[in-house]
Amino acid sequence: MRRFLLSTTKILVSAALLYLALRKANFSDLASRIDLASLGWIGLAIAATFLQIFVGVQRWRAIGAECGAPLTTKQAMRFNLIGAFFNQTLPSAIGGDAVRLWLVARGGAGWRAATYSIFVDRAVGLIALAIMIVASLPWSYHLIGDPYGRSALLLVDLAALAGGMGFLILGRLRWPWLKSWWGTHHIYACAVIANRVIFSRQRGPMVAVLSLLVHVLAVVIAWCVVQSIAAPVGFGQVFQLIPPVMLITMLPISIAGWGVREATMGLAFGYAGLMTNEGINISLLFGAVYFVVGAVGGLVWIFSAEKAAQGGSPIEVPE
């Protein structure tokens, strides 16, 4: 019952935010700007999305090895594509993580190692995104003149950065009760692993580069979408606006980020002195690109050995 209510709430949040955002959208204008050249740019965006998934696979493999959940590149790519599909169908922007966890655990790694690999991978990605936003703040403040917009950007980023740094600091503590108390045992273990990965001479630099590249590719995907409709937005503006939007979209309060992303993108563009409806147009096409990639992941899932072995029964993961 609790899961049903949570899913219903997320569906309602997506629907409400989409309704509020799409009131400002002009679909006839958007459709008139899509031509053969636009499809070429959308194709590039889809290709960049597959590249983004592949880069994420390499980071996940490095982290998984530290967690006791080793994966081959082919296996991890397949799991990430399947996760991309479930990200579009489960009531959360991170619903695919639960499915990836199930796939890794079912492959023999065990629930604990699988959970740790997914959680640490997400945490490292969040920290990298927060650092990227902090590094661009001087330019973002120049772009966003509205004081409320500046305050919101600073508040969201500092909250994410504080959470990430707090997580890493937790892993450096040596208090015995952190290992033994049920409330901190697993989170502490993940924090220790995250520190080991990030500050490793062997894996640290590679994980850092891969983490930043994942987010840079999100900007590239958005830029391809901008070019597809010839929106009057520069690459620098996209680079400064997309990362904060992606950070907010990570909140698991909607379906695949729909509604949250459109509302946030429209607001961000307005604060930056750009046209709100352009932000919504870009967000819709951005989401459509991920939807197409998710559909490919759906085909991977349909023809996967795990799907055949499951026999159509629902996927069960621990809460």
Instruction: Give per-residue pLDDT as tens, 263-289.
Output: 888 888 888 888 888 888 899 899 999
Contacts of 256 (CB under 8 A, 6+ apart): 87, 88, 89, 92, 93, 95, 287, 290, 291, 294
Contacts of 171 (CB under 8 A, 6+ apart): 188, 190, 191, 192, 193, 194, 195
List the one residue out of 15, 50, 99, 71 whose CA is nearest residue 289: 50
- pLDDT on residue 81: 95
- List, for the chain, all residue ranges whose pLDDT scores fall below the cut of 70: 1-27, 90-95, 252-256, 309-319
Determine the Cα–Cα distance for residues 93 and 86; give it in Å rounded to an integer: 9
- pLDDT on residue 318: 45
Annotate the chain with three-state secondary structure.
Answer: CHHHHHHHHHHHHHHHHHHHHHCCCCHHHHHHCCCHHHHHHHHHHHHHHHHHHHHHHHHHHHHHHHHCCCCCHHHHHHHHHHHHHHHHHCCCCCHHHHHHHHHHHHHHHCHHHHHHHHHHHHHHHHHHHHHHHHHCHHHHHHHCCCHHHHHHHHHHHHHHHHHHHHHHHHHHCCCHHHHHCCCCHHHHHHHHHHHHHHCCCCCHHHHHHHHHHHHHHHHHHHHHHHHHCCCCCCHHHHHHHHHHHHHHHCCCCCCCCCCHHHHHHHHHHHHCCCCHHHHHHHHHHHHHHHHHHHHHHHHHHHCCHHHHHHCCCCCCCCC
Could you give the C-alpha distances from 239 to 67, 163, 243, in angstroms and in order? Answer: 33, 23, 7
Determine the Cα–Cα distance for residues 30 and 37; give it in Å rounded to an integer: 14
Determine the Cα–Cα distance for residues 304 and 53; give it in Å rounded to an integer: 18
Contacts of 311 (CB under 8 A, 6+ apart): none
- pLDDT on residue 123: 94
- pLDDT on residue 94: 59
Q: Encoding tokens for residue 203? A: 């894996």
Determine the Cα–Cα distance for residues 278 and 262; give it in Å rounded to an integer: 10
Determine the Cα–Cα distance for residues 122 and 257; give it in Å rounded to an integer: 16
> How large is the angle between the packed helices 147-172 and 111-135, nearest 10 degrees?
140
Q: Encoding tokens for residue 75? A: 């296996």
Tell me the pLDDT tens digit for each residue of 111-153. Answer: 999 999 999 999 999 999 999 999 998 888 888 888 888 888 8
